[in-house]
Amino acid sequence: MQPIKDQILRYIACQKHLGLSYGDVLLLVGPPGVGKTSIAESIAIAMKRKFFKISLAGMSDAGPLRGYDTNYQSPKPGRIVEGIIQTGTFSPLILLDEIDKMGSSSNNGDPAYVLLDILDSNRSRFIDDLISVPIDLSNIVFVATANSLQALSPILLNRLEIIKLKGYTREEKIIIANKYLIPSLIKDYRIEDLGVEFTKELIEYIIDNHAHEPGIRALKRLLKLAIESVITETYLGNTVSSKISIAEFNRLTHNDSELEKKLPNKNVSKRKKLKIPLNYD
């Protein structure tokens, strides 16, 4: 992780030093749940820039990026101009999220070609179809995310500085759960007065049995489920242990501990034990 931090730090330092958009656009590549969006938000905070996110997943024509002129029934600016308007500045950090999941349309324009125009080294001549005058994008910092590089064209890749993010190890997930996820969830749900604690064994149990993916979304979802179950039991007037063990977790989430014994195939994933969907990415 340190080489990635160093690369991002160099990028931020040069951006702040030059005052204009520096170098290629950062592309954060990695599996779901490894913190790509969080890194982009942290870069915006470090650079003291307002943050605006554009989701490109499923976008199949140029209109949402380029805008719609007055020939359309509902003319409106594209998402780039919308980002400038909503942030109230010509120098925000704009996140181009899931750039690898764009579609294409021969009738309404390919959004990939609009991106090439936006990410061109000379960003002072971008034209939104509604405004129809050149807009200077040179002060905007663009950061993109993707799960894979396979769907991206070589021309587009040539304009991107790629940073590859690997999945978290078991030990890293334990640290993230204890230092970030659990304190954040307790604060978000305002249950500090309940003194809820997760045992070390429970966190390891969840990671080993129900959070195998590279990211931490499943881990966060299950910790969130446990906290919501504690709140529900409290409002029902039931007694709940403040220290959530594996047994208490199984009870709260209605996990049948006897089901594992009934499985005909011992190699069947233990994910089947939980009566909730775990594969949601």
Tens of pLDDT, residues 185-227? 999 999 988 888 999 999 999 999 988 888 899 999 999 999 9
* CA–CA gap between residue 245 and residue 251 (Å, rounded): 10
Q: What is the pLDDT of residues 39-97, one digit of tens each?
A: 999 999 988 899 999 998 888 777 888 888 777 777 888 888 899 999 999 889 999 99
Strand partners, 51: 93
Least confident of 100-109, 212-221, 225-234: 100-109
Tokens representing 13 are 């330092």
Strand partners, 54: 96
Cα distances (angstroms) measured from residue 180 to each of 28, 171, 173, 176, 220: 21, 14, 10, 5, 10
Question: How much is the pLDDT for 256?
Answer: 47
Look up tokens 């400038």; give the residue: 84
User: What is the pTM (predicted TM-score) of this model?
Assistant: 0.75
Using an 8 Å Cβ cutoff, are 76 and 130 in contact? yes
DSSP label of 51:
E
Question: Which domains does the chain possess?
Answer: 2-164 (3.40.50.300), 170-273 (1.10.8.60)
